[in-house]
Amino acid sequence: MSAGHGHGHGVSAAADRKLLSGALALIVGFMIAEVIVGFAAGSLALVTDAAHMLTDAIAIALALLAIRLAAKPPAGGFTYGFKRVEILSAQANGITLLLLAVYFVYEAVSRMIDPPEVKGALVLITGVVGIVVNLFATWLISKANRSSLNVEGAFQHILNDLFAFIATAIAGLVVLLTGFARADAIAAFVVAVLMLKAGVSLVRDSGRIFLEAAPIAIDPQALGAELCAVEGVVEVHDLHVWEITSGEPAASAHILVAEGLDCHQIRVRIEEVLAERHHLTHSTLQVDHATESQSSEHCSDSHGTVHRAITGAGPAPDPASPHH
């Protein structure tokens, strides 16, 4: 049994707390002002924008919390520490986005049918200021470590907010120049659609991690065949690839090698393939010789596909070889 561990689990801990805190303060301050102005102007678009910024603020705050928790060493039953706290918060943020989006779609449709009076000048001014604020917040977060699902999610949300505030500013200008109050509801609808898109993405990505699905960039079937191509490997089964948290893939497998070969040397070659080609630096491999008893004992109840090396065509090429 061997564990090839590349303990680089501090992805979230490497994010710059100062940058995230600055973006959080900026967003929260403007969000409060926007809610006040939104109600004063009778603008659903502004209130919708503020709700979207609230989810951004929650994402950043939880990212900061996750950074702090992830820095704690594993203890007790939490053998990976608290690294999945960020995934919990990302999923909660995504679900919140979806629920708010549905509500604002309903409100936008209602206002399309019966538009209230909207003060276009206030909407326009707030929209323009919102564009400036979001540009600065986007710049701050872009300098942080975006390998965290929360940090990247907040970054994408703020980018969406830029489009939302552009739509809001245009709506305010239309209302100011033409008196067409439904423009505000149309802008709110645009923001709600952006919220739906971001929410679906967050829920999907966090859900894959909770279900321990393989990272999107890794095909377990192709990986199994690739490991079988390592010279000396006879069979690969019980191959599992998952993510501990965003940006931290892990793998485990049972490897059977031909009798008489050095199991440890082959394990090292397999670990090199996993690390160099797939960034899988956290791997746990059980390597045994492929005796008849081993095969019958382990393969009859293996999880997933049993990968076997191609025989009859000479030695299989070694993916770890520089000439391959």
Instruction: Quote the mean pLDDT of the chain.
Output: 81
Contact yes or no for 72/82 (Cβ under 8 A): yes
| Both structure tokens of 55 | 């989810």
The ranges of the chain annotated as CATH 3.30.70.1350 are 220-292+302-308
pLDDT at residue 306 greater than cutoff 50? yes
Contact yes or no for 188/107 (Cβ under 8 A): yes
Contact yes or no for 234/257 (Cβ under 8 A): yes
CATH 3.30.420.40 holds for 220-292+302-308: no
Assign 314 a pLDDT band (cuts: 50, 70, 90).
very low
Residues forming beta bridges with residue 252, ordered by sequence position: 240, 284
Assign 322 a pLDDT band (cuts: 50, 70, 90).
very low
The superfamily in CATH containing domain 13-211 is Cation efflux protein transmembrane domain (1.20.1510.10)
Residue found by looking up tokens 């705050």 in the block: 61
Condensed to tens digits (0 to 9), the pLDDT of residues 71-102 reads: 777 777 777 777 787 788 788 888 888 988 89
Give φ, ψ of 73 to 5 degrees: -70, 155
Read off the pTM: 0.73
pLDDT computed for residue 250 by the predictor:
93
The ranges of the chain annotated as CATH 1.20.1510.10 are 13-211
What burial letters (b/e) apply to 298-321, b meaning 16+ CB within 10 Å?
A: bbeeeeeebbbbeeeeeebebbbe
Among 96-110, 162-176, 271-285, name the most confident range: 271-285
